[in-house]
Amino acid sequence: MTFIVVGHLTGKKELFLPYEQFPWFKDKTINEITKVESFGENHLYWESLDVDLSVEMIEYPERFPLQAHT
């Protein structure tokens, strides 16, 4: 299993995002992946990737089917 690690921007925990569950990050550069913004304690946004995830989506991906807009 290959994954990226995002330090939760509230400083409370690290979040692990397996590529299998979060394919939007798979072929992206480290620079693109690390440019993440926090909107509140539970909302993360990667503007350059147009990816918007809540902490709940990351912690419980089975609750949220994959959706991508192309």
Q: What is the model's pLDDT at position 17?
A: 86
Residue-wise pLDDT for 45-58, tens only, equals 999 999 999 989 98
Q: What is the H or E stretch that residue 57 is in?
A: helix 55-59
Q: Tokens 């089917």 belong to which residue?
A: 65
Stretches where the chain sits below pLDDT 50 are: 70
Q: What is the model's pLDDT at position 62?
A: 87
Range 11-44 burial, b when 16+ CB lie within 10 A, else e: eeeebebeeeebebbeebeeeebeebeeeeeeeb
Q: What is the model's pLDDT at position 21?
A: 87
Q: What is the model's pLDDT at position 46?
A: 93
Report the 10 Å Cβ neighbour count for 55: 20
